[in-house]
Amino acid sequence: MRNGGQLLVECLVALGARKAFGVPGESYLAVLDALHDTHGKLDYVLCRQEGGASFMAAAYGKLTGQPGLCMVTRGPGATNAAIGVHTAMQDSVPMILFVGQVGTDMKGREAFQELDYRAVFGTMAKWAVEIDRVERIPEILARAWSTAISGRPGPVVVALPEDMLTSMTDAAPLRGPVEITEPHPDPAAMERLREMLAGAERPLILYGGCNWKGPGTRPIQRFAEASDIPVVSVFRYQDQFDNHSPSFCGEAGVGMMPHVKALIREADVILAINARFGENATDGYTLLDVPQPRQRLIHVHGSDREIGKVYCPELAIQSGPNAFAEALGALAPVKGRWGAWRAEGRAAYEAGFDLPDLPSPVDMGKVCAHLRETLPEDMIVTNGAGNFAIWSGRFLKFGSEARLLAPQSGAMGYGVPAAIAAKLVHPAKTVLCFAGDGDFQMTSQELASAAQAGAQPIILVLNNGIYGTIRAHQERNYPTRVSGTEMTANPDFAALARAYGFHGERVERTEDFAAAFERALASPTGAVLDLVISPEALTPRQTLSQMREGALAAGKGR
């Protein structure tokens, strides 16, 4: 006999769980108690705010392909944690959020901190469930785990009524992990795909999604290079293909480069692999017509729920990304006259790295040029949301060993917890977080969690004193009318970092960056570098004043 809390933890250990990120609550004491006895098999990473914990779990899922686990208390904990659930959903990332719930004897009365989780998370998560019989814990956990990792991976929310955790049961725990193999593509469909590509004038490969195993796109790279086909990543998945490959032409994301838009618009056959057609990847659904694009579309996805969701493909192949990549790599290359078109796309991608001097004490163009030279091949880069994310997204090059953890949901505050989770998984790797001053302050309290767990990354705070992205929109639409976008009372970020036990430094000139970064790399306690950035240098090629002047000239404002 064991209680529900013990049963739950034993099942998680059997499934292969190694880490859970959480903030404690009296609602799930029995789980915390059971964790006491796992002897390090399932490590509880104590966080300071549930938003940080759920971001860590989402990032863990993205990095490892295993469900990132998060444990939080009832209503207040669950609502704080919601941001990570939403982010995991938009990122197609496996995650399980465990939330405390009031006892079954008082449910439905709006008892203390009560929430109806099925209703609250029903449209946000892949699945939301509440345990209502203690002996069903193994069944629910097996399904939660399988749901999180299969098809299009996503977050599952499991609510734990208090009496389900304290009741005794003789139900047997799960015995082992779930192994789910990917659906393989139909060989006849692969032939048809090859014919469509061979008959194209300008074929394009678009890819995305999170469940690649290792450098899973390598066979795609072989095929693309042998066939001279350009490859474009959807929003924030540029790390999953070797950026040094002559086939790689950039990212279809926010602020899409003109040549990437042109590639998608001009292509006549698009092979979309493991990609979800989001707003950012399609430039607001304008590059491809909804529902039937002019481009002949081949959509490959592991989930039947994604195929035909936005676009009606001419050929759909339900396959896991890795299985499909292998099958594509085994095809004979196709030959056509699109080589010059690919080369133009690649040249435009390369030319994108050449930047003018930026009007800023610290010039991020030069900082990124230095980072491209010095960062190791197996770096892990993270960021949240803000204009600063242009630098990690577009001005680094991701080789086949590198990873980028960046939220498709555009959630501010993701970068710091993601970097902590990455450092926990890969303590020996260089983990570098790009944060804005606004973005950093959403989750900076997790520096304490990092110090406690001994997982201290390097964090660059691009400090411009404004909520830059919103200020840019403001100047373009309401020029000169600054409202709610200035942070006039930021803390001393370097001092704050030191207070948390990190190495902290303020960098005031571009030429001081290299030495400061050396010290950051050498620091055994991670580092926060507070980079002084002018608000004028909000984008690589347009200043804030130019945005404002452009809007005034266009007759916006008064």
Ligand X SMILES: Cc1ncc(C[n+]2csc(CCOP(=O)(O)OP(=O)(O)O)c2C)c(N)n1
- Closest CB to ligand X among residues 402, 412: 412
List the one residue from 73, 169, 303, 464 that touches ligand X (CB under 6 A): 464
**Of the candidate residues 130, 251, 363, 437, the single one contacting Mg ion (CB under 5 A):** 437
Least Cβ distance, residue 416 to ligand X (angstroms): 11
Inter-CA distances, 52 with 47, 96, 121, 150, 420, Å: 7, 15, 18, 25, 10
439 binds, among ligand X, Mg ion, none (CB under 5 to 8 A by kind): ligand X
Give, rounded to a whole angstrom, the gap between the first and last alpha carbons of the chain.
74
Q: How far is the CB of 539 from Mg ion (least distance, A)?
A: 13
Nearer to ligand X, 363 or 437 (CB): 437
Interaction between residue 436 and Mg ion (CB under 5 A): yes
At 317, phi and psi to the nearest 5? -125, 115
- Cβ closer to ligand X: 323 or 371? 371
- Output phi, psi for 134, to 5 deg: -60, -35
Q: How far apart are CA 157 and CA 25, in angstroms?
A: 17
Q: What is the dihedral of CA 199, 205, 206, 209, to 10 degrees?
A: 120
Residue selected from 469, 475, 496, 540 as contacting ligand X according to rule CB under 6 A: 469
Residue showing the smallest CB distance to Mg ion in the complex: 436
Nearest distance, CB of residue 506 and Mg ion, angstroms:
15
Write out the binding residues for Mg ion, residues 97-126 only, by CB under 5 A. Answer: none
Element at 415 (helix H, strand E): helix 415-425
What's the chain's length in residues? 558
Residue 153 token pair: 């991976």
Instruction: Specify the DSSP element, H or E, that contains 161.
Output: strand 155-161
Of 484, 431, 440, the C-alpha closest to 458 is 431
Residue 282 or 383: the one with the smaller Cβ distance to ligand X is: 383
Considering beta carbons, is residue 42 or 412 the nearer one to ligand X? 412
The site string for ligand X over 423-452 (x = CB under 6 A, - otherwise) reads -------------xxxx-------------
For ligand X, the closer of residues 313 and 410 by Cβ is 410
> What is the nearest approach in angstroms of ligand X to the Cβ of residue 437?
4
CB of 467 to ligand X, least distance (A): 4
Binding mask 444-483 for Mg ion (x = CB under 5 A): --------------------x---x---------------
Binding mask 353-392 for ligand X (x = CB under 6 A): --------------------------------xxxx----
Task: Look at the block and give the residue holding tokens 């009496």.
Answer: 163
Give me the residues paired with residue 272 across strands: 206, 299
Centroid of chain to Cα 165: 32
Strand ranges, E, within 293-419: 296-301, 315-318, 380-383, 403-405
Q: Does 467 bind ligand X (CB under 6 A)?
A: yes
- Here the tokens at position 376 are 């190791």
Asked if 468 touches ligand X (CB under 6 A), the answer is: yes
Nearest to ligand X of 86, 397 (CB atom): 86
Selection from ligand X, Mg ion, none that 469 binds (CB < 5 to 8 A by kind) is ligand X
Over 116-147, what HEC string results? CHHHHHCCCCCEEEECCCHHHHHHHHHHHHHH
Selected range binding Mg ion among 208-216, 352-360, 432-440, 469-477, rule: CB under 5 A: 432-440
Least distance in angstroms from the C-beta of 91 to ligand X: 14
Contact 321, 273 (CB under 8 A): yes
By beta-carbon proximity to ligand X, the closer residue of 380 and 411 is 411
Euclidean distance between CA atoms 106 and 402, whole angstroms: 50
418 binds ligand X (CB under 6 A): no
The helix/strand/coil state of 532 is strand
Residues in contact with 202: Cβ distance below 8 Å, sequence separation at least 6, in sequence order: 266, 267, 268, 269, 338, 341
What is the closest distance, in whole angstroms, from the C-beta atom of residue 289 to ligand X in the complex?
28
Residues of this chain that bind ligand X (CB under 6 A): 385-388, 410-413, 436-439, 462, 464, 466-470
Residues of this chain that bind Mg ion (CB under 5 A): 436-438, 464, 468
